[in-house]
Structure 1
Amino acid sequence: MSDQKLHERLRKLLALSKSSNPAEAALALEKAQQLMAELGLDADDLELLDIESEDVDALLSTSTVLPLYVAGLIRMVTDTMGVDVVYTPRLGRLHFIGNKAKAEIAGYAYGVLARQLRKERQTFLKGQSKRLKRSTRIGRADQYAEGWVTAARKKVSALAIPEKEKALIEVWKEKNMGDLDTCKHRKAKAVRGKDDAWLNGWRDGQESRLDHGVSGSGAATALGHTRRIGAA
């Protein structure tokens, strides 16, 4: 049985240990203590059981220096859901870290919004004249994406991470990910037509939607080198 399943079993036993039925509560507590010993957990580790990582494909970029619109979308999701995030460029994975339920929703939300943005950026890019330099077309598409994220961000409210939860997240990252670098990001090029491109993105970003059912994702293995996502 995997550690994740054992942790889930421990959560259920701890919940049962608070049962109003004394016999049931005592038995659950005894089994919980046995499982804690098996997993090598102490009382300080129990609070960390509610902190998990929801690992999802980065989708928009696997660069070590993220485009500003990608960093902005990631930060929008973490601010909205009240979680933290770590990025693994080598695997092209994002790890949304926090309360289990919030981390899962953050992973889902990012996937939905990133696919919307990727599709609309590609549509905008295809609409650019082939007579333009490729760098100009890419620059405009990046400006479009920055405008899209700016508009989408204005539609949501930030959810602060409680201080205790924030401290637990830091402990979890230290135990599971070690030292982290800060991930840099780059702005879109200031190409000709950038203002119109940004404005088109801003208009389309106002139509962004997040209205599908939540679906979990598989966890990444062999994290490799990971990075914090800086504020955008």
Structure 2
Amino acid sequence: MTGTTTGKGMSQKAVMERLKKLLALSRSSNAHEAAAALARAQQLMHEHQITEDDLVLSNIGDFACRFTWGAKTRPTRYQTRLWSMINAVFGVRSVFMEGSGQIRFYGLTDRAEIAAYTCDVLSRQLRQARADFLGAQNKRIKRTTKISRADNFAEGWILAVRSKAQRLVISPEEEQLLLRYEDTALGEMEKMTEGRAAPPSRRSDQAFCDGHREGRKAQLHAPMAGEQRLAIAGDVP
């Protein structure tokens, strides 16, 4: 709906913003001002056929990470753990789009947008770090062993990054809002699973430790304010 123009010449987004301001005014201690604002809000909702659910759900944004991995159907476990870590840090949720390999984050608009940005930045850093690790492996080692070690390396990398950012706990009200959004916008879309685990191999524990060490070097400088700032930058003690 965002960006469309209504018959009254206002975009849907502008109408929603206007409604939110009017509803805020409707809680004014000035009875006359509150009544006038509520009446105008109800009029706008009627003119543009906007329901209360539409207004509530307009607070939710949905943003795709620009980076896409090779997996188009079933992602690896380290990929799903990266996305789950981002969900926890920003208090959002994500869904893997079967067929495109795209990951989308949804939640309160500002947080969902920066979560998608964070995913893009960290995914690129992780891919490069994993590729460097793979390139350093002995060429005589079996490919399955290399992949196993590289995947364990990636999981260690993610754990290190996760230790550098605080989890954002969302309120029960926001939790309900996300559930309503899922029912309305996502329908029967299957929720993301744990992902494909790395096959067992020798020295996988060492690979995990190597990844954890490299993950401490992750860099992310996001233009956020207040409690929403994600503090990931450089080595940690």
Query: Which TM-score tier does this pair reach, normalised by the shorter chain?
Result: 0.7 to 0.9
In structure 1, the residue matched to 2:157 is 148
Q: 2: CA distance between counterparts of 1:16 and 1:159?
A: 27
Structure-2 change in CA distance of 1:192 and 1:63 (3 Å): farther
Counterpart selection for 1:65 from 60, 74, 80: 74
In structure 2, the residue matched to 1:221 is none
Q: 1: CA distance between counterparts of 2:57 and 2:191?
A: 24
Q: Conserved in 2, the CA contact under 8 Å of 1:16 and 1:28?
A: no
How much does 1:88 deviate? 0.8
Q: Which has the higher contact order (CA 8 A, sep 6+)?
A: 1
In structure 2, the residue matched to 1:53 is 62
Amino acid across the alignment from 2:183: E
How much does 1:114 deviate? 0.8
In structure 2, the residue matched to 1:190 is 200
Cα-Cα RMSD: 2.6
Q: 2: CA distance between counterparts of 1:55 and 1:39?
A: 28
Q: 2: CA distance between counterparts of 1:154 and 1:162?
A: 22
Greater strand share, structure number: 1
In structure 2, the residue matched to 1:137 is 146
5+ residue gaps, structure 1, are 215-232
State the TM-score, normalizing by the size of structure 1. 0.80
In structure 1, the residue matched to 2:2 is 4
How much does 1:78 deviate? 0.4
Q: Conserved in 1, the CA contact under 8 Å of 2:155 and 2:211?
A: yes
Q: 2: CA distance between counterparts of 1:88 and 1:113?
A: 19
Runs of 4+ in 1 over 6 A off after TM superposition: none
1:1-232 aligned within 5 A: 3-5=1-3, 6-17=11-22, 30=40, 33=42, 36-37=45-46, 39-57=48-66, 59-184=68-193, 185-213=195-223
Q: Conserved in 2, the CA contact under 8 Å of 1:61 and 1:70?
A: no
Q: Conserved in 2, the CA contact under 8 Å of 1:151 and 1:206?
A: yes
Amino acid across the alignment from 1:208: A
Structure-2 change in CA distance of 1:69 and 1:180 (3 Å): same
The alignment-based identity, stated in percent, is: 33
Q: Conserved in 2, the CA contact under 8 Å of 1:79 and 1:158?
A: yes
State the TM-score, normalizing by the size of structure 2. 0.78
Q: Conserved in 1, the CA contact under 8 Å of 2:96 and 2:103?
A: yes
Q: Deviations over 1:67-104 (max 9, x none)?
A: 11111110100000011111112121212111011110
Amino acid across the alignment from 1:103: A
Amino acid across the alignment from 2:2: Q
Q: Conserved in 1, the CA contact under 8 Å of 2:160 and 2:215?
A: yes
Length, aligned pairs only: 210
